[in-house]
Amino acid sequence: MNASASAQGKRPTVKDVAEIAGVSWATVSNVLHDHPNVRAATRARVEAAIEQLGYQPSSAGRELRGAPSRLLALAIPDIESPYFSHLAHAIISYAESLRYTVLINVTGGRINRERLAVRAYSERSVQGTIFSPLALELDEVEALRGGFPIVILGEHLREGRIDHVAIDNVTAAQELTDHLISTGRRRIAFMGYQPHSSAGTGDLRLQGYRQSLANAGIDLDDRFIIETDHYTHQEGEARSRQMIADGLDVDGIVCGNDLLAVGALRQFRLLGVRVPEDIALVGFDDTPDGRYCWPSLTTISPNKALIAKSAVDALIARIDDADRPPSQIVVPHSLIVRDSSATQIRDRVARGPSRVAETG
């Protein structure tokens, strides 16, 4: 509440305290609830503003202090994706352990819906948003959100101006490609390049693939970089079928995610191409599809529980202290080696060119 409002005798509100203290109303709420994560300097500013305004919580507010009324939002492009559905579950579970409720917004990666996700929540009772954008650029996110707390998931916005949580996709893709090289593969393709997408994940995974080949002294064949419009089963099937039709002589494929790899695996089985004897397949995300298909899929397993925890903790820290420097959190990942990239290449080398070349 400003001085003129005070002069008019209006009862001060939480938002008035927040304005005087230069914090979000959620931070004021956390001070009132004696939340332990509020920094001492921030708490002192809020308490000084409370004293200045003579703010007193209403009796109804005091009765509701123990209720799970705090709200966070999660804006993701696709809830049907195994990766995002599992990550959403982990975020909701961890937030609930801290007495927060999470609202989910599925944007479909469409720019208008991403704009709405940023703008709408900043005008409602939601305290902050965990956001995985595909279309919005950083400048527009900052303009739309104002001072609203946001944590970015993934690789799309990586300039260090907003709190950000991701795995190291370059290193992960390099590890996958290094693994294929270690099994004797040399004609390795990358499926998942998206030249028309503004998202950064595919680009970073392609970068890691290129780096691995360069380190091994393997010349890159541009025909082996397979473009995809989407990261889906259907896309994996279509692109692998086209590879066969084009007669590309590959002995390994690094796929941008598990869905592409499982789709490719199905198509290769239909066409009589053996995995891993003819072509080794590897993916990303460690989804149930990859664990239970046959052959089971070698993949990168991101620590989704830690991604969830890191994102929620970073968002709460931002809610409690709007002035803290942005966090850039890199979460560990693991290479999970399974049957789809087994070292079964000797008989293939003796037989000559791959089945892909024979079929093309």
**Which distant-in-sequence residues (6+ apart) come within 8 Å of 240 by Cβ?**
191, 253, 263, 264, 267, 268
pLDDT score recorded for residue 322 = 85
Question: CA geometry: angle at 74 spanning 73 and 76, to 5°?
Answer: 150
Q: Classify domain 70-165+305-333 at the CATH topology level.
A: Rossmann fold (3.40.50)
Domain 3-63 coded CATH 3.40.50.12280: no
Three-state secondary-structure class, residue 359 = helix
- As a whole number of angstroms, the distance between CA 121 and CA 356 comes to 51
Kindly state the tokens that stand for 155. Answer: 């690789």
> Would you say the CATH fold of 169-302+336-359 matches that of 3-63?
no
Q: Classify domain 169-302+336-359 at the CATH topology level.
A: Rossmann fold (3.40.50)
**Which distant-in-sequence residues (6+ apart) come within 8 Å of 34 by Cβ?**
none
Helices (H), 190-257: 201-215, 233-246
pLDDT in tens, the chain (360 residues): 444 344 455 778 878 888 898 887 778 877 776 666 788 888 888 888 888 888 776 544 443 444 434 899 999 999 999 999 999 999 999 999 999 999 999 999 888 889 888 876 665 678 899 999 888 887 888 888 888 899 999 875 556 688 999 999 999 999 999 999 999 999 999 999 988 765 578 889 999 999 999 999 999 999 999 999 889 999 999 999 999 999 999 999 999 999 999 999 999 999 999 999 999 999 999 999 999 999 999 999 999 999 999 999 999 999 988 888 999 999 999 999 999 998 754 344 444 443 333 322
Domain boundaries, the chain: 3-63, 70-165+305-333, 169-302+336-359
**Which distant-in-sequence residues (6+ apart) come within 8 Å of 276 by Cβ?**
295, 339, 340, 341, 342, 344, 345
* Virtual torsion, Cα 194, 196, 198, 200, nearest 10 deg: 20
* C-beta of residue 353 within 8 angstroms of C-beta of residue 249: yes
Let me know how many helices (H) and strands (E) the chain has, helices first: 16, 12
pTM score = 0.77
